[in-house]
Structure 1
Amino acid sequence: LFAGEASNTDSTDLDEPVESSNTGPIDLDPFDYVYSNIPDSTHILKHAENCEHCKAKKFQYETDGFCCRNGEIELAEPEPLPELMRLWSSADADSRHFRESIRFFNG
């Protein structure tokens, strides 16, 4: 603002359509902007065989042995923690809160 000009931002409601003096209210759809750049086609990778050693899912151009060095590395199966299993399987208030807020806890 220039010196001496008054600010009129308190009376402006951003959720209301903007009125033009010539055409009346302008109805702006916010989704028009969001969906305006959606591509017409997608790229899908070709199927690749799983690793013969560890059975890991491989991508199209992934080299052999990338996941487990051709069987040299073997990961142990983790045992689920008893408290975590209780939160998943119980019906108490703590368990319900955990399941309802799982995205928060994962974050």
Structure 2
Amino acid sequence: MFRDQGSDNDTIEDDEETSMSSAIPREVDPLDFVYTNIPDTTHILKLDANCKHCKAKKFVSETDGFCCRNGQIELKQPEPIPELMRLWSSMDADSRHFRENIRFFNG
């Protein structure tokens, strides 16, 4: 008297779910756009001879006086701060704490 309609409905629902899932676009990863156009090669500037006055590294397109104005400008080399050198090189508790939390101190 009653017909088993469960199997017919199941196949219709399965077909609807399949067609529905293909109609819904998958979530797009925003980083896909960033990583799709990565170049195969890089451009690297060619180095030239170091400055004869200050020994700075130079690139081919830089002029002779670009770094130190042909020796007119002399940068002072800073002396290392003794307390910082001790914190960096010692093995006492203060030094270990400093090195373990260096990002905090730099902030």
Q: Same fold (TM over 0.5)?
A: yes
Q: Which AA in structure 2 matches 1:86?
A: R
> Could you report, residue by residue, the CA deviation over 1:55-94 in whole angstroms, capped at 9, with x for unpaired residues?
0111221111111111112222211001110111012333
The 1:60/1:94 distance shift into structure 2, 3 A limit, reads: farther
Counterpart Cα distance in 2 of 1:39 and 1:72:
42
Return the offset for 1:37. 2.3
Pair 1:21-2:10 in alignment: no
Which TM-score applies when normalising by structure 2? 0.61
Gaps of at least 5 residues in structure 1 are 1-19
> Could you report, residue by residue, the CA deviation over 1:19-57 in whole angstroms, capped at 9, with x for unpaired residues?
x93249x58777644422211111011121110000011
Gaps of at least 5 residues in structure 2 are 1-18
RMSD between aligned residues = 2.9
Partner of 1:66: 66
Q: Which AA in structure 2 matches 1:54?
A: C
Runs of 4+ in 1 over 2 A off after TM superposition: 20-24, 26-35, 92-107
Number of aligned pairs?
Answer: 88
